[in-house]
Amino acid sequence: MATVFMGTPEFARTVARAIHDTYPIDLVITQPDKPVGRKKTMHSPPLKAFAEEHGIECMQPRRIHDVIDDLERRTIDLIITAAYGQILPTRLLQMPALGAINVHASLLPKLRGGAPIQRAIERGYRETGVTIMYMSKKMDAGDIIAQRKITISDDETSASLFEKLAHLGGELLKDTLPDIFNNKVMATPQKTSEVTYAYTIKREEEMLDFTETAQTLERKIRAFYPSPACYFTVNGEAVKVYGARIMEGSQETPGTVIAHAKTGPVIQCERDALLIETIKPAGKKQMTARDYLNGQGKAVLAVGKQVNT
């Protein structure tokens, strides 16, 4: 079977690794290399690294339309996508003899969209999972081939959940491919009445709004870790927050530093408070909030001071 695998991040590489030894991949399609950091060093997508490791042909079109004529001249039995990052045209979806399938990191029809892992944590879901589905013109709306569930722990972050779901997705895909290759799939249409969306995170969502509850903000911090990361501002400078705990609050105005605990500052929220434990101040490396307070931090985050002003 001639198989094309399309994806970009570490999630895609993990899924591809899970199947390649048993069901070899003939062509990888991923996003172009991108400049990263202040020095604009070019970085390759993780799936490109996978292709190079295994000697697999790799395409990196800026737009998938740029290579669609080339793909049409090839024999393609199956297209597999996993977090590719572009909408695939109908013309491409119709090329493979066995169709085009997607490994999606949610239990569809819940959490359609580009940020299902982050949104599951942010919204307080107790479980999520992976879905393998046939791709359709509408985003994440295709018929479901297989699903597998996983529990979300109380201290789950996007980093830990990404890794768990990538391995789960690879296992499920490997178990499902025999039925796809042998035309034994019994796919199920999604229930439109149960559809929810997991839209891509916007920049304005990253700033912590202390007029929300501590529980809401603590979930968001875990959901956005390690990237894009939540932050608050002090004297106009952004302080990224990588770890926090819920504490008993006071009657102070939300956004007020109400105490300095052993591990960091405590900031009042609409209900309860947040103990900030791991941070990255502007222009500095990630550090414990305790170390920050032991330096210049107590003057910056003084008790009684408002943040985000």
Report the relative pairing of strands 230-234 and 144-151 from DSSP bridges: unpaired
Q: Tokens 């290579």 label which residue?
A: 67
For residue 301, pLDDT over 80 is answered with yes
Contact in structure between 243 and 221 (CB atoms under 8 Å): yes
User: Whole-model pTM?
Assistant: 0.94
Q: What are phi and psi of 36, to 5 degrees?
A: -130, 140
275-294 pLDDT, tens digit per residue, is 999 999 998 999 999 999 99
Q: What is the pLDDT of residue 298?
A: 93
Token pair for 175? 């178990």
User: Which pLDDT does position 40 carry in this prediction?
Assistant: 82
> Please, what are the domains in the chain?
3-194 (3.40.50.170), 205-300 (3.10.25.10)
Residue 296 has pLDDT above 90, yes or no: no
- pLDDT, one tens digit per residue, over 37-77 is 777 888 999 999 999 999 999 999 999 999 999 999 999 99
Average pLDDT of every residue of the chain = 96
The runs of H, that is alpha helices, within 130-184 are 158-181
What pLDDT score was predicted for residue 39?
79
Assign residue 206 a region: left if phi > 0, alpha if psi is -120 to 50, beta otherwise? alpha
The two tokens of residue 106 are: 């949610």
- Going 32 to 202 to 219 to 308, the CA torsion angle's sign is positive
